[in-house]
Chain A
Amino acid sequence: MSVIARLEEQRLDPQRELGELLAQPGGDGAVVSFVGIARPESSAGESVDDLLLEYHPVLTLKSLEEIAVEAAERFDVSRVRVVHRCGRVAAGEPIVFAGAASKHRRAAFEAADYLMDRLKTDAVFWKRESGAQRSAWIEPTEADYSDRDRWG
Chain B
Amino acid sequence: MRVLFYGRLAESIGAEVELDALPGSSVAQVRERLIAEYPEVEQSLRSRRSRACVGDTIVQDDHLLDAACTVEFLPPVSGG
Contacts and interface: CB of A to CB of B under 8 A. Distances in A.
A116 B77 CA distance: 14
A139 B49 contact: yes
B77 A96 contact: no
B47 to A, nearest CB: 9
Contacts of B8: 126, 137
Given A56-B6, A126-B6, A126-B7, A140 B76 contact: yes
Contact of B78 (A58, A62, A116, A120): A120
Contacts, number: 63
Interface in A112-131: 116, 119-128
A54 interface: yes
- Chain B interface extent, by class: 10 to 19
Given A54-B6, A59-B53, A119 B79 contact: yes
Query: Taking each of B6, B7, B49, B78, which has the highest tally of chain A beta carbons within 10 Å of its own beta carbon?
Result: B78
Interface of A: 36, 53-54, 56, 58-59, 62-64, 84, 95-96, 116, 119-128, 137-140, 144
